[in-house]
Structure 1
Amino acid sequence: MAQVPQTFFDALAVRTWCGLALRALGRARAEIDAINVYPVADGDTGTNLYMTWESAVTAVEAVFEGYETGCGEPSLADAVHAMAHGALIGARGNSGTILAQLLRGMAQVLAADDAGREPPHLEGGRLRLALRRAADSARQAVAHPVEGTVLTVASAAANAAERAEGDCAAVARAAYEGARAALAATPGQLAVLQQAGVVDAGGRGLVAVLGSLVEAFTGEAVREVPKVPEPVAGGHAPVTVPGAGLCVAAAEAGGPAFEVIYLLEAGDTAVARLRERLDALGESLVVVGGDGLWNVHVHVDDAGAAVEAGVEAGRPYRIKITHFGLGDVHTGAERPTRERAQRAVVAVVPGEGLAGLYTEAGATTVLARPGEPPASGELVQAVRRAHAREVVLLPNDAELRHTAAAAAEQARAEGIRVALIPTRSAVQGIAALAVHEAARRFDEDVVQMTSAAGATRYAEVVVAEHQSWTTAGICQAGDVLGLIDGDVAVIGPDVTATAETVLDRMLQAGGELVTLVIGDDAPETIARHLQARVRESYLAVDTVVYQGGRQGALLLIGVE
């Protein structure tokens, strides 16, 4: 079915582009993984690009959902800022980090020009400027730019766009064709690509993204990028070799042992010093972002030193360290086989405190920080990391239902038996984990865990960020909200008093056990106060308290 073309570069065009590009990267994912040989032949560029873009799509969809309550439509600035921020916090690997900066560069131009809508024939000028800013900012983010990579493809796209005339469709098509030609020439610019007979994997992903931009504005799919690139002038025709990403060990022999990635809250001056320090520690350094939030990527031999440098610069979090030596990427040796467990539990948790609790109970955890829900790719990776034949997946958030379902489906396609229990809160997950028994039959275990989760009512106490209509009336920014089973039930001025009202309402329907998960920002005395309330008014009810850490909500409550 043909895509309805977008005339203007507005929020709907951004949403359309995001959806088309996610599908395009999904189709090309395996191919891009197979040709990945630079900067490290680890076969993950397609996956990293897909997960980065998926995070951008999730952020854009969240913006549109926020306007579905009759509050109008999101602006172009809303959509492009969400897209860039989503990519930044979800960036994976060298390629994903550069992609995030490309989107940030585009957002800087598109959001600044969102004051008024231009006629269609003038809209192309805005897109030309956005592609130029994207290419330049991405190149500036890389410590030592290398030609024959995604940076070359991005620059070629911007150059071609600047020569184009007309509306967004004409500019997008010119950028796509320029990128496509530059991609075919990458083997002649980078020896490792010439040796492997492949084009640059990151550039291949960018061509897919730009092709989706053309489709968004024309309604027509672009011609496929050939798997065998066009002949390079003066050279032979490179051939895409499936699995080549795992075959060119000699090209990267002796390189750094670790890839280190983290998000960093820090100021510009501290980040400038961090760049210098990390540049001295390793290679493939890419630092993207701004306005106090950065995504840092580097390849080093001393992973601890790279993290310590981030600590000195600000607050690093969502730290991911990958050892390149684990497998046949560099050595050609097979990875030692670890015996699969029969069953495992994978759970999404909202804070470090609960992550520790779940881990102690034997679960593999995925940390969901406030405003940063995990993408389906992260859940799939966690399922793989659990290394079990059977996996019970606990999303612990109603908003993650579709994401978790997509992850479960992908894991099943890889031969893992996955059961998704639709837990809507971490306290429901605690109840499910409490009755989990790996020795039981899988189906029976899932039934018992599902029953325990379903028998647990859940609530949370949060602070309203802005004025809005709720099921309990109008709330103002700064009001304390008590949500029971996902709906606002109480609006009050005081955290402890609101929490007590919520707890009383929940216990009116009965209960045997109250679970309290205390966030870092909750009053210090709230746990003692609520425990005393339960002891005095509900004699047959027990209470357990856990520290949740930076979990977003001030308080989580479960009643079984």
Structure 2
Amino acid sequence: MPQTADDLDAVAVRTWCSLALDALGREREAIDAINVYPVADGDTGTNLYLTVESAAAAVEAVFAAHETGTSVPSTADAVRAMAHGALIGARGNSGTILAQLLRGMAEVLAEGAGAGRLSLALTRAAASAREAVAHPVEGTVLTVAAAAAAAAERPADGAGAPAVVRAAYEGARTALDATPGQLAVLGRAGVVDAGGRGLVAVLGALVEAVSGRAPERAYEAPTAPAPAAAVAGVAGDCSAGDGPQDGPAFEVIYLLEAGDQAVERLRTRLDGLGDSLVVVGGDGLWNVHVHVDDAGAAVEAGVEAGRPYRIRITHFAADRLHARPEPAQRAVVVVVPGDGLGGLCAEAGATTVLARPGEPPASGELVDAIRRAHAREVVLLPNDGDLRHTAAAAAEQARAEGIRVALIPTRAAVQGIAALAVHEPDRSFDEDVVAMTAAAGATRYAELAVAERQSWTMAGICQAGDILGLIDGDVAVIGEDVPETARKVLDRMLAAGGELVTLVLGEDVPDALADRLEEHVREGYLAVDTVVYRGGHQCAPLLIGVE
């Protein structure tokens, strides 16, 4: 239940995230529809939803770690998790700016969350977001955030937190209604700023989380969105730079591990490469967003500054020309644990989602991949048993959008490879799904991992540093080195028969290991073939499939 206390505690932060996600889920399509500045790609609502979904997931993870009786996280832990989750999951320019707004609030609320601190948090949020944008423009989400902060300072001394957040919400509403008069592209299209409208939804959720009641006046746009034809060529989703309609062709986004000085140099270089530059974050982790014509140069700049990852490059020139291709009949969306497998699956025609250790993709990320596949029929391969609920939620949301989705519950990457190998888009959807499901189900899977600590397993007690051989998810072999453990795992799996062994090597595993294991299979098991792939940076030391 939303609280009504004067302090914003961890439970209220959790409630705020949940309510904000619900609000953006309801308004996502409406916000997408008014996304006309400065790239008309119609995704601001979706980007804000995905950003808040990541923030909410991070807060839930903190609560899960404290589920011991009545124990709950501290407010500081909750707001920091919210800010970190938003940072690593930020999408698009508006999502990136929202992440910085939440980070600014977290810096203040981690030290206390009473009414006065809430007002200060909103002020810090607006200031830090404006500093993160290379060339701020009025009439955007930055203007709405500043108005919310100014309004939050007006309640009389002694007013409680509910009064502060209600004032902020009303100030944001008023500022949002004025945005068409501040930014010409909005006025021509007859819409308010899409990012600002999303922020109003987030602040409305904060009102309900703190006061226990939703705002008395739900937001309604003062003017109806213009028809799509009226805004053709008018751009959307950015709050930095009123660039020309034929602006840069690519949106580049990545997370970056780098120091402050390196990031300052990066800002200067990226500002010279393109526009709509927003760099948010701190403490060694940053989210970088820019629009450029040379996407490679933007990524190379990140490599020089530090370690970029989760790199996303979107080409939206076709959106400006309204030259969207006709949807394909069928596509496959695959979750992969390494960039090497991502390349392999992409070569096979699949749309990939990269899953990193400790950072499983959220349902919104899977929905986004299904949309990017741009097909009427989609086969979804999660390749992880822990993703079954997330994948099911993504499939259900995509079905609600009119896409026919079949979820094959693959539990490992090697099962996904087996399913993709028999995929035939020319046969009927049902026949294709049955064949892919059968191939995945006929593939036993194993993984080698390094034990992080002493613990009990199905195979006995392991020590930190031991090599664990997991078969079908359970520890079956404990060894001292990778080659010997791998041979024992293969022997156990092939004892039940098999025709094909698939080996996926991690980045630091030498090719010689694959040669030795292939020789072991050839000498000990007649008529069993072996194929070898490279998994890449994020992959486990060794993945094994037997079918």
Name the structure 1 match of 2:388: 401
- 2:131 counterpart of 1:108: no
Compared with structure 1, are the counterparts of its residues 464 and 206 closer, same or farther at alpha carbon in structure 2 (3 Å cutoff)?
farther
Shift of 1:397: 1.5
Question: Is the 2:332–2:380 Cα contact (8 Å) retained in structure 1?
Answer: yes
Match of 2:164 among 166, 171, 187: 171
Compared with structure 1, are the counterparts of its residues 309 and 167 closer, same or farther at alpha carbon in structure 2 (3 Å cutoff)?
same
Partner deviation per Cα, 1:114-158 (whole Å, 9 max, x = no partner): xxxx7xxx7333333332322221111111122221112212222
Alpha-carbon RMSD across the aligned residues, in angstroms, is 2.9
User: SS at the partner of 1:269?
Assistant: helix
Name the structure 2 match of 1:379: 366
Shift of 1:303: 2.9
Match of 1:216 among 209, 212, 227: 209
Name the structure 2 match of 1:241: 225
Match of 2:197 among 193, 204, 221: 204
How many residues matched?
536
- Paired with 1:147 and 1:473, the residues of 2 have a C-alpha distance of 64
Question: Is the 2:445–2:472 Cα contact (8 Å) retained in structure 1?
Answer: yes
Question: Is the 2:37–2:234 Cα contact (8 Å) retained in structure 1?
Answer: no
Shift of 1:537: 4.6
- 2:127 counterpart of 1:136: yes
Match of 2:323 among 335, 347, 351: 335
Name the structure 2 match of 1:188: 181
1:323-472 maps to which residues of 2 (within 5 A)?
323-327=315-319, 329=320, 333-335=321-323, 337-338=325-326, 340-465=327-452
Compared with structure 1, are the counterparts of its residues 64 and 250 closer, same or farther at alpha carbon in structure 2 (3 Å cutoff)?
closer
Shift of 1:557: 1.9
Q: Partner amino acid for 1:335?
A: A
Match of 1:145 among 136, 143, 147: 136
- Paired with 1:290 and 1:401, the residues of 2 have a C-alpha distance of 33
Q: Partner amino acid for 2:49?
A: Y
Match of 2:151 among 160, 171, 183: 160
Question: Is the 1:34–1:243 Cα contact (8 Å) retained in structure 2?
Answer: no
- Paired with 2:20 and 2:455, the residues of 1 have a C-alpha distance of 33
Shift of 1:441: 2.3
Shift of 1:423: 0.8
Compared with structure 1, are the counterparts of its residues 187 and 440 closer, same or farther at alpha carbon in structure 2 (3 Å cutoff)?
closer
Q: Partner amino acid for 2:323?
A: R
Q: Which stretch shifts more, 296-305 or 42-51?
A: 296-305
Question: Is the 1:196–1:244 Cα contact (8 Å) retained in structure 2?
Answer: no
User: SS at the partner of 2:134?
Assistant: coil
Name the structure 2 match of 1:262: 254
Shift of 1:243: 4.4
User: SS at the partner of 1:345?
Assistant: strand
Give percent identity, aligned residues only: 75
Name the structure 1 match of 2:3: 5
- Paired with 2:311 and 2:464, the residues of 1 have a C-alpha distance of 32
- Paired with 1:290 and 1:489, the residues of 2 have a C-alpha distance of 42
Name the structure 2 match of 1:559: 546
Q: Partner amino acid for 1:199?
A: V
Question: Is the 1:35–1:240 Cα contact (8 Å) retained in structure 2?
Answer: no
Q: Which stretch shifts more, 453-462 or 56-65?
A: 56-65
Question: Is the 1:260–1:299 Cα contact (8 Å) retained in structure 2?
Answer: yes
TM-score where L is the length of structure 1: 0.86
Compared with structure 1, are the counterparts of its residues 540 and 50 closer, same or farther at alpha carbon in structure 2 (3 Å cutoff)?
same
- Paired with 1:221 and 1:336, the residues of 2 have a C-alpha distance of 39
- Paired with 2:98 and 2:160, the residues of 1 have a C-alpha distance of 24
User: SS at the partner of 2:448?
Assistant: strand
User: SS at the partner of 1:362?
Assistant: coil
Shift of 1:273: 0.8
Name the structure 2 match of 1:274: 266
Name the structure 2 match of 1:293: 285
Match of 1:548 among 535, 538, 544: 535
Question: Is the 1:52–1:90 Cα contact (8 Å) retained in structure 2?
Answer: yes
- 2:53 counterpart of 1:60: no
- Paired with 2:284 and 2:53, the residues of 1 have a C-alpha distance of 23
Shift of 1:41: 3.1
Question: Is the 1:34–1:245 Cα contact (8 Å) retained in structure 2?
Answer: no
Compared with structure 1, are the counterparts of its residues 168 and 411 closer, same or farther at alpha carbon in structure 2 (3 Å cutoff)?
same
- Paired with 2:380 and 2:488, the residues of 1 have a C-alpha distance of 32
Name the structure 2 match of 1:26: 25
Partner deviation per Cα, 1:338-396 (whole Å, 9 max, x = no partner): 4x433222211111111122123232222223333333333333333333332211111
Q: Partner amino acid for 2:518?
A: Q
- Paired with 1:468 and 1:73, the residues of 2 have a C-alpha distance of 27
- Paired with 2:117 and 2:59, the residues of 1 have a C-alpha distance of 20
User: SS at the partner of 1:127?
Assistant: helix
Partner deviation per Cα, 1:287-314 (whole Å, 9 max, x = no partner): 1122322211112233333233223222
Compared with structure 1, are the counterparts of its residues 102 and 458 closer, same or farther at alpha carbon in structure 2 (3 Å cutoff)?
same
Name the structure 2 match of 1:46: 45
Q: Partner amino acid for 2:281?
A: G
Name the structure 1 match of 2:239: none
- Paired with 2:91 and 2:540, the residues of 1 have a C-alpha distance of 27
- Paired with 1:127 and 1:525, the residues of 2 have a C-alpha distance of 59
Q: Which stretch shifts more, 390-399 or 183-192?
A: 183-192
- Paired with 2:58 and 2:307, the residues of 1 have a C-alpha distance of 23
Shift of 1:79: 3.0
User: SS at the partner of 2:353?
Assistant: strand
Q: Partner amino acid for 1:363?
A: A
Question: Is the 2:40–2:234 Cα contact (8 Å) retained in structure 1?
Answer: no
Q: Partner amino acid for 2:129?
A: A
User: SS at the partner of 2:247?
Assistant: coil
Shift of 1:322: 2.7
Name the structure 1 match of 2:241: none
TM-score where L is the length of structure 2: 0.88
- Paired with 2:104 and 2:475, the residues of 1 have a C-alpha distance of 39
Name the structure 2 match of 1:92: 91
Question: Is the 1:196–1:248 Cα contact (8 Å) retained in structure 2?
Answer: no
Compared with structure 1, are the counterparts of its residues 324 and 68 closer, same or farther at alpha carbon in structure 2 (3 Å cutoff)?
same
- Paired with 1:529 and 1:254, the residues of 2 have a C-alpha distance of 56
Shift of 1:549: 0.4
Any gaps of 5 or more consecutive residues in structure 2? 236-243
User: SS at the partner of 2:438?
Assistant: helix
Name the structure 2 match of 1:233: none
Shift of 1:277: 1.3
- Paired with 2:464 and 2:12, the residues of 1 have a C-alpha distance of 32
Compared with structure 1, are the counterparts of its residues 467 and 17 closer, same or farther at alpha carbon in structure 2 (3 Å cutoff)?
farther
